[in-house]
Amino acid sequence: MTDYRADESQPKPFRVADRLREAREASGLQQKELAAKLKWDPAKLSKTESGARTAVSEADVRAWAKATGMSDEDRDETLDLLARFKANEKSWRERMRHGRRSVQVQYNELYRTLMRFRAFQTAWIPGILQTADYARQIFADLNELDPETPIDIEADVEARMARREFLYDSSKEFDFILTESVLRTLIVDSKVMRAQLVRLEDFLDLPNVQIGILPQGRRLHTAPQSSFVLYDDMAIAEGFVIDNPYHGAQAQRFATVFKRMWSESVKGDAVREVIRKAIADLPQ
């Protein structure tokens, strides 16, 4: 099993992006000015700085360093971060080569040892709260995006369903924040979604499970960006390509975001109302 806890400095695309952005700002160049010097499309430069573009090459970093006057030491450190991120990305592909079930089992081990779990989701119902039919359709869609991954959907679903037992362990705490769009965006069939939402309401009765909903149409003071989870003091930011672990101060920032989002969420009976309204609005 990959040891997510081992290395606080594990590389992430955002760390490379931060270095590049800081170099541009130190040079006094605006994004459009640097894009012109590099002969890049401004959108490409913006995505590189935000970390949205992960296909950054060594040549890109060297050109950026030259254009911004980055020191040789900073350039080489950035190249090292890039190399480590690429190695980590390759490691993820290697893990997926054995199928999604092995990845699900690895995450199950994190659930086994944790005391507090927190999840913020903008895309789908968190895995540990999913019904088998909901998970089955999610895995089927993911396999279409990643055809090189060995396909065994039933094994994937079985591994994911195995983690539900941890919800009934009273020594563990589970806090979930979902955007209302998670309840309304039909990424599965309507019948499957209905059963999933009914099951989600059932989980509200568990004494160690709390669910908050960020309702639509309400002014928020923290933008709900990418989904993430916190396994005790370790954060994992979820993505299409790779899940990135964070530790220490970086993980604490995710915890701070979670706390702010929690304060803006509806809870208790209000959550039941939002869920029931979403069920009522489902197409027949």
pLDDT digits (tens, 9 = 90+) for 26-35: 999 999 999 9
Predicted local confidence at residue 98, as pLDDT: 54
Q: How confident is the model at residue 120 (pLDDT cuts 50, 70, 90)?
A: very high
Name beta bridge partners: 177: 120, 212
Say which residue, 56 or 189, is predicted with more confidence: 189
**Least confident piece of the model among 1-10, 118-127, 230-239:** 1-10
Q: Say if residue 145's pLDDT is above 90.
A: no
CATH architecture classification, 13-95: Orthogonal Bundle (1.10)
Determine the Cα–Cα distance for residues 63 and 217; give it in Å rounded to an integer. 44
Predicted local confidence at residue 152, as pLDDT: 79
What topology is assigned to 99-280 in CATH?
Endonuclease; Chain A (3.30.870)
Say which residue, 110 or 151, is predicted with more confidence: 110
Q: What are phi and psi of 283, to 5 degrees?
A: -65, 145
Q: How confident is the model at residue 245 (pLDDT cuts 50, 70, 90)?
A: confident
Q: Say if residue 160's pLDDT is above 70.
A: yes
Does the global pTM surpass 0.85? Answer: no
Long-range pairs of 232-237 with CB within 8 A, sequence gap ≥ 24: 232/114, 232/115, 232/116, 232/117, 234/4, 234/5, 236/4, 237/12
Q: How confident is the model at residue 249 (pLDDT cuts 50, 70, 90)?
A: confident
Span 73-118, pLDDT tens digits: 888 888 877 776 766 655 555 555 555 555 666 667 778 889 999 9
Q: How confident is the model at residue 4 (pLDDT cuts 50, 70, 90)?
A: very low
Say which residue, 52 or 219, is predicted with more confidence: 219
Q: What are phi and psi of 107, to 5 degrees?
A: -65, -35
Which among 263, 242, 259, 262 has a CA at the least distance from the CA of 251?
259
- CB of 208 within 8 A of CB of 170? yes
Predicted local confidence at residue 8, as pLDDT: 34
Domain ranges of the chain: 13-95, 99-280
